[in-house]
Structure 1
Amino acid sequence: MYSLLPNLRVIEAAAFVAGPTGGLYLAQMGATVIRIDQIGGGPDFKRWPLSAAGDSLYWEGLNKGKQSIQIDLARAAGRELAVALATAPGDDAGLFLTNFPVEGFLSHANLAARRPDIITARIMGWADGKPALDYTVNAAVGVPDMTGPVDGTRPVNAVLPAWDLLGGAWAAFAMVSALHRRRATGEGAEIRVPLSDLAATSLSHLGFAAEALLHGDRGRLGNDLFGAFGRDFVTACGARLYLVAITPKQWRGLVAALGLGEAVAGVATGTAADFTADEGARFTHRALLFPLFEAAMAARTLAELGPALDAAGVTWGPYQTLGQAVREDARLFTHNPQFQTIAHPSGLTYPAAGPAASLAGEARGAVRAAPDLGADTDAILADVLGLDSGAIGRLHDAGLVA
C-alpha cells in the first residue's frame, strides 16, 4: 500500500470484478474505500474459488484494504443511508464507485440532487444499459474466434477477464482525473465505463478493428505470434517454452544461440526475405523457419538452452502451471516484494498482493486484508454521518445495519 491518496474517501457499491477492482486500486494508493455491503453479503460474497470451508478467495482478494458497512438495501431507510454515505460532505469525499443500474436510487441524478459536485464512476455491461459480463462482451467482439488451435472451430473464451480488469483500472483513473478537475472548477462528473466500449476501443487501439475492416477476420494461429516470430517449442527433456523475436537484436541473438545462422540464411536466400530487418517476414515464412527451430530446440535440454538463450539476450519463458509459479517462481511470487503473507477473513494465512506499481525509493506499506462484513459499520456511521451511539443502536435494533 502507498499513501498517494491519504485523505480520499470513496464509497463503493459494487460486486463481481470490475467495480471492486477499481476500489482495490484506489485503496492500494491510500484512499479510504468504504464498501456498502448487503446484510449477509452481496451476489459475489461466496463466488468461486472457495476455501475448503466455503469462504470466497475471490472476494477477499478483490476487497483488500477496504472498509465494510452492512446495510439492508431492500428497505427505503437502508437505501437512504447508502445515499447519505455517497453524498456525505468533504473536499476529498463525494466519490462513488458502483455497478448498480444507471437508473434507481443510486443514479447519478439522484445523488447529484443531494451533492451537485459528486463524482460517480459506474461500471456497465453495454453502453445502452443492457447487462453483460466480460465473457459475453468478449464473445460479441470476436476475440474467441481468433483464439485456439488452428484446426479448431469452437470459439475459445479466455480464463482471464480482461475487460473487467481494464474496467476497474479505467474507473479508478477516470475518477481521480475528474477529482483533479473538481478541485480546480468545483464541477462534479458522471463517469460511465461500459465493458462493451472497453472491448471495442481496445481492439481499435490495437489495430484489430481496422484489420477486420480492411482485410477481413483474422484466422486462428494457435500459439503463433501474429506478425512476428514467436511460438512454443519443446526441448529434449520435454520442457515447453515460448520464444519471441520481435526486434533485430532479439532475432540475431536467437539465431546465434541455436547455431542456425547458415540454415536461416538459406531460407532467406530462397525467399528473398530479410529476416533481420523485417519481423513481418519471419511471420510470413514461419512455415519454413519453425522446423529449423523445432529441431534445434528438440536437440537440447532446458538446462542447456536456458543459459545460452539468456546469454544471447533472447526473450523466452518456460510454460508452468499456476501452482508451480506460486510455489516455486521467485520472480513472480515466492520472493516478489509485491506480496506479503497476511491473515484473511477466512481465517487462512497466505500471500496477498499489494499494488502492481512500485514507487522507486518509497517503502511499500503493509498489505491490509479484506474486511469482515460490517466490520466498520459503527465507525462509518459515526465518522462519516456523525451519528451518536443512540442513533446507531436504533439502526441495529431496526435491522437496517449489521
Structure 2
Amino acid sequence: MYNLLNDLSIVEVSSFVASPTAGLYCAQMGAEVIRVDHKAGGLDYNRYMLTREGRSLSWENLNRAKKSVALDLQSGEGRELLVELASAVGQCITNLPEQSFLSHAAMQAKRADMISLRVMGWHDGRQAMDFTVNAAAGYPLMTGPEDWDPATAPPVNQVLPAWDFITGAYGAFAMMAALHHRSRTGEGSEVRLPLGDVAIGTMANAGLMAEVLYRGGDRERLGNAIWGAFGRDFRSRDGVRFMVAALTPKQWSGLVKAFGLQEGIAALEAETGVRFADGDTPRFQHRAALFALFQQAADSMDYATLEARMAAETCTFERYRTAYEAANDAQLVANNPLFGPAPANPSGFDYPATRSFANIPGRAPDDPAPAPYLGEHSEEVLSEKLGLSSGAIGKLVDAGTVALSDKDKT
C-alpha cells in the first residue's frame, strides 16, 4: 500500500467482484474507502468458500484496507443515513441500480459536486455478470482444442472473472478522472460503467471485432497456441508441461538455440521458402510444422535441462502450475515484495496478502491491511463524517438502524 490518496475518502456500496475491486484498488493507494453494507451483510458477505468460522475468503480479500459501516438498508432511516453519508463524503462507488434509493440524483440533491461511479450490467439496463457478458462477446467459442468440430463443439468458459477485474480497474481510473475534472472545474460527475461494455469494448480495442468483420467469419480454435504469433504449450521428456512465446527476434532466436533447432529450422526454411526470423506471420502460418519440431526437441530433454537452456537464452517461458503450487511457490509469493506479512484477517487464517500491484522505487510500501469486520467502523465513521454524537449513534444502534462489529458472531 502507498499513501498517495490519503486525502481521499470514498463510500462504497457494493457486492460481488467488479465494484468492490474498484474500491480495493483505491484503498491500496491510500484512499479511505468506507464500505457500507446491510447490517446482516451484503449479497456477497457469505460468498463461497467459507472458513470453519463462517468467514468468506472472497469477501475478505476484496475488501482489504477498507472500513465497514453496517446499516439497516431495508429501512427508510438506514437508507437516508447512507445517502447523507455518501453526499457528505462526496464520492461513491456502487453497483446498486440507478433506479434505487442511492441514485445519483438523490446524492446530488444534497451535494451539487457529487461524484458517483455506478457499475452496471448492460448499457440498456439488463442484468449481467462476468460469465454472461463473456458468452456474449464470443470468446468461449474461440477456446478449446483445434480439432473440435466448429458445428458441434461446446463453449469453454474462462475460470477467471477477467471482465469483473478489468471493470474494477477501469472504475478506479474513471473515479480518478472524475476527481481530476472536479478539481479543475468544480463540477461533479455521474459515471456509469456497464460491465458488458467493458467486455465488448475490449474485444473492439483488441482488434478482434475489426478482424472478424474484415474476414467475414470467426477465428478457428487454436488449442493453447497463441493467435498470430509463435507460442504454445510443450511437454518435456519427464512429463512437465510448459508454455513458451516468441514475439520478438531476440525471443525467437533464443528459443531456437535453447531447443537446439538451428539445423532443423534451416531445413524447414529451405523446404517452405520463408525466413522464420522475419516476424510473426511466417511463424504463425507454419506453426504446425514448427510445433512438431519443438515438441520433438522437448521429447529429448528433461525439464530441468530445458529450463536452464531457456533461462540462459533469456527466453519467455513458464512452467504450468496448479493454483495450489503457485500459492506455495517461493519465487511467486514468499520472495515477492508484492506480498507482505499476513494481517489480522477476520477469518483468523494466516495466508499471503498483497500490497499494491504497482510499486514505486525508492518508496517503501506499507504492509497489507486486513479486511474489516462487518460494522467495525460504524461508530467512527458516523461520528467523523456526519458529526453524530455517541448518544445519537447509541439510539440508532438500539433502534436497529446501525449495527456494530460482528467480530464475535457465532
- Where on the TM-score scale, by shorter chain, does this alignment land: which range? over 0.9
Q: Which secondary structure does the structure 1 equivalent of 2:352 belong to? A: strand
Of 311-320 and 61-70, the range deviating more from structure 2: 311-320
Task: Give the match for residue 100 of structure 1.
Answer: 96
Matches of 1:35 and 1:393 in 2, distance apart? 20
- Which residue of structure 1 lines up, in the alignment, with residue 249 of structure 2? 248
- 3-state secondary structure, aligned to 1:384: helix
What is the number of equivalent residue pairs in this alignment?
Answer: 397
Which has the larger displacement, 215-224 or 60-69?
215-224
Report the Cα distance in structure 1 between the residues aligned to 2:49 and 2:213, rounded to whole angstroms. Answer: 39
For structure 2, the 5+ residue unaligned runs are: 404-410
Alignment correspondent of 1:230: 231
Q: Which residue of 2 aligns with 1:296?
A: 297
1:150 CA drift (Å): 1.8
Aligned 1:128-277 pairs, distance under 5 A: 128-152=124-148, 153-215=153-215, 216-277=217-278
Which amino acid in 2 is paired with 1:133?
A: M
What is the letter of the counterpart of residue 77 of structure 2? A
| d(CA) in 1 for partners of 2:174, 2:288 | 45
Instruction: Tell me what 2:16 maps to.
Output: 16
Distance 2:13 2:179 in 1: 19
Q: Is 1:115 equivalent to 2:116 in the alignment? A: no
Deviations 1:87-122 (A, max 9, x none): 00xxxx401000000112111111111111011001
Q: CA deviation at 1:342?
A: 1.9
Residue 101 of structure 1 aligns to a residue whose secondary structure is coil
* Residue 290 of structure 1: how far off its partner (Å): 1.1
Structure 2 residue aligned with 1:63: 63
> What TM-score do the two structures reach when normalised by structure 1?
0.97
The equivalent residue for 2:406 is: none
- Indicate the residue corresponding to 1:389 in structure 2: 390
Q: Secondary structure at the match of 2:325?
A: helix
Q: Aligned AA for 2:19? A: G
Could you tell me the TM-score, scaled by structure 2's length?
0.95
**Which letter maps to 1:346?**
S
Per the alignment, in what secondary structure is the counterpart of residue 118 of structure 2? strand
Contact 1:102 1:129 (8 Å CA) reproduced: no
1:4 equivalenced with 2:21 (yes/no) = no
Partner letter of residue 84 of structure 2? A
In the TM superposition, residue 343 of structure 1 has moved relative to its aligned partner by 2.2
Q: Please state how far the C-alpha of 1:237 moved relative to its aligned partner.
A: 1.0
Does 343-352 or 355-364 show the bigger shift? 343-352
* Paired residues of 1:141 and 1:200 also in contact (CA < 8 A): yes
AA of the residue aligned to 2:145: P
* Larger deviation, residues 110-119 vs 14-23: 110-119
Q: Which of 124, 138, 144 is the aligned partner of 2:120?
A: 124
Matched residue type, 1:282? R
Q: Which amino acid aligns with 1:112?
A: Q
Cα distance per residue 1:325-379 (max 9 Å; x no partner): 111x223112111112222101212111111000111011121100000000011
Q: In structure 2, what is the equivalent of residue 380 of structure 1?
A: 381
**Partner residue in 2 for 1:29:** 29
Separation in 2, partners of 1:227, 1:342: 44
Give distance in 2, aligned partners of 1:315 and 1:366. Answer: 31
CA distance in 1, matches of 2:176, 2:199: 22
Distance 2:163 2:5 in 1: 25
Question: What is the Cα deviation at residue 50 of structure 1?
Answer: 2.2
Structure 1 regions of 5+ residues with no counterpart?
none
Amino acid at match of 1:130: R
- Is the 1:343–1:350 Cα contact (8 Å) retained in structure 2? no
Aligned mates of 2:60, 2:247 — CA distance in 1: 39
> d(CA) in 1 for partners of 2:232 and 2:367?
39
